[in-house]
Structure 1
Amino acid sequence: MTRLFGTDGVRGLANDRLTAPLALKLGAAAATVLTEHADVSKRRPTAIIGRDPRVSGEMLAAAMAAGMASKGVDVLRVGVIPTPGLAFLTDDYDADIGVMISASHNPMPDNGIKFFSAGGRKLPDAVEDQIEAAMKDLDETGPTGTAIGRVIEEATDAQARYLAHLREAVTTDLSGIKVVVDCANGAASEVAPKAYAAAGAEVIAIYNKPNAFNINDGSGSTHMEQIQRAVVEYGADLGLAHDGDADRCLAVDSRGNVVDGDQIMAILATAMKETSSLYDNTLVATVMSNLGLKLAMRREGIEVRETQVGDRYVLEELGRGGYSLGGEQSGHIVVPSHATTGDGTLSGLMLMARMAQTGSSLADLALVMTVLPQVLINVPVSNKALILDDATVRTALEEAETELGDSGRVLLRPSGTEEVFRVMVEAADPEIARKVAGRLAAVVSAV
């Protein structure tokens, strides 16, 4: 049976796979599991629910609130807020549960439900499995009378609390920096421009007028051509692009060149090392990060610890080792001293702070790392579980690694959601990368 929870919560086509009745039941089950050890003699369990602006979020947030209230949980709805803002508010309001209704960078017809435990931390797989199991045996009845949970619509101070937190996290004066921010018509549409302006930057906001239907539509961190063009047109020092729920940030320098998550991590890691705030001089990244990041960090005396793909695995490693910086090439950057999950607005503030502190352009800062050419081929397969055990594939992989030596890298991994196997090759010479990747893809396809 297919697991309900994916790599980042429950996600699917809204009102098809992800329906209001499912959200209602999921909310009741989550309330049961996540408040199991709450001391109700001191106070009633509480939950915070936020969403991005997509139209189905209104429906799903209402259903989720109803499900939780039916199990005696008081619910505070905070309206449209970035995912990292919801995680922060879960802790700031001292709530037992946080719920974010968002499909992140996915198109408008999709939506998703992400849960956070007390303190604003993502749930481990085992707890998600408990919630899924609880849905099967859920008692449709619940507390009655005064024991029913209350639903408080739209907290009035939620956004202000999150903005104050961001300002406390990055206090550097950004006066003199002109930034274009692409809000993807998403959850950052109000917050990100306000946060950057409050820090002193001159802000030009684009795609910051959500209408419930235009989130991620030709904009944001998955459509970088928009902000590349805007930065050059406005003569800005840099551009920052967020996704629909603003847990990602990608950048563009003044010439319109993309600065991806690996490069942002390299910039921030070297800055934190200088101030002795990079714990154990270690950066956490995933296996999909460019080899150029590891080579640059080695030169700077910084160790890179690798995890499997997914910000949840980066978070787990950060917590396990007590490390202070991690992230993904896609722009999820995590700074545990200020956030419990990736925070795109915080990343943008820290990147501009580094520019202000050094007097350097983003293009100059990005020179800390040379991005090696990377070729990624998605190969449709009949059974992805068999690929790495195939002798022909193993032999081809060994030959490719020998051919590339220390100047390149090969990564073979299954997709988390499709019957697809990903072949990724990096090399200093792009032609060699293409040749090796094509050869490996052909071997994988033949299995």
Structure 2
Amino acid sequence: MPRIKKPLTVKELNALPDGRHAVGGVKGLTVEKRAGKITGYRLRYFKGGAERATTYVGTYTLGEVRKKAADDLALYESGTSPQEVRAAERQEQAEKKREAEKQAKNARITFLYCANEFISEYTQTVSRSTNKARHVALNKHLAPAIGAKPIDAVTVQDLAAALSPIWVSKPNAAQKAYTLAHQVFDYAIAKELTELRSNPADLRGPLGVLLKPLPQPPKQHYPALHFDFIRAFIKDLLKTPSASAHALFFAILTGSRNSEARLAEWKEFDLERGIWKIPESHQKTKDKNFERNRTKILSTQAIDFLKHLPKVGPLVFVKRQDAAANRPLSDMAMTEVIKALHEKKKERDGRGWIDPDSLNRQTGEKRRITAHGFRATFRSWVESGEWENYTKAQEAAEAVLLHEKRDNLGGAYRRYDHAAEQRRVIQAWADNCLEGIDLSDYSPWRREAR
């Protein structure tokens, strides 16, 4: 064990010869001199037969060296060492730096950032109307309240505060905003943009306690045109030479859904037999537990119409500029056609193409007809008709609309497809729609007539 020597003064240190000498005042502290100059100090300490040492090099004063040496000696005697303490300090500083960088990064990853990333990544997988609804929900209802907050800092209380103002008064808007918030948090968790492991925007959790059950307004049917006006509408429609108008005309003649007509491909049709086999992917209804009839019978007018259409790609209805990319019409294409026809008619008669029995709940105004509403037009026309066999005509109408499902109970033994009745009903419908209309005056028949 090093001896404790009487503390030397600075003058005494300077008078020492070259070599190593005890400084005194701190056990084991020595000074190293070469060429008459002090080159450094060393603290030596023995424990368990091994020597430990700490060197002090620099412009320290003698008092500063003794203070450091005394502190380090205390560390040795307590069972640790200056090296271990300094390593721990460096590690603590490194952790603080990492935590600061992490907090700075998290501050940049806000709810708005995550929402924009989610919407951008899935833009191509959803419809234009869905994208628009997401942007409205974000910018109008979510971003003002929680957009600037780091995604990790958004609490259940924050979400409740953002949704509460519209939760009861605007249930449709509230539902869209809630759905988007839920999707954004799921996205952030999946992409590791947050350390959250559970979604705070979940009504089955605490959020559901803070928000009252979302009111469900009574469902409204799609506005539909009365069948007495179908010929007048078709005359207006046929004057619109566009792929969207052609798709709407075909959907009306066949009683089809928007997606079935928009996504139709030439390979689905057997024009010689007058049938159209629609793949499940083109339909709104996806059936997991039963089969559904997906074959439509075509009227002679529908077949003739298809034969007159130019084939510019796999899709039946496509804008010429989109043909090379095989890009189908948007889900709003038919709506835009109806909207344009409605505005023109409104200029003429002040009413437009409306459903007088369908009112806007907020404004009380009569609603404009829809593409889907023409299915109701067809069904109502069949319902009002006089048929040789009324029951079979109604069953055939349901088959035309592809409402029949072959489940394990009611449909297990019903295998008659009403093909003959379907043909009679759909042909009568086409004859009714086009009665008194000379198709040679309209596109695409006009090209052949010329």
Return the TM-score normalized by structure 2. 0.25
User: Highest CA radius of gyration, 1 or 2?
Assistant: 2
Return the TM-score normalized by structure 1. 0.26
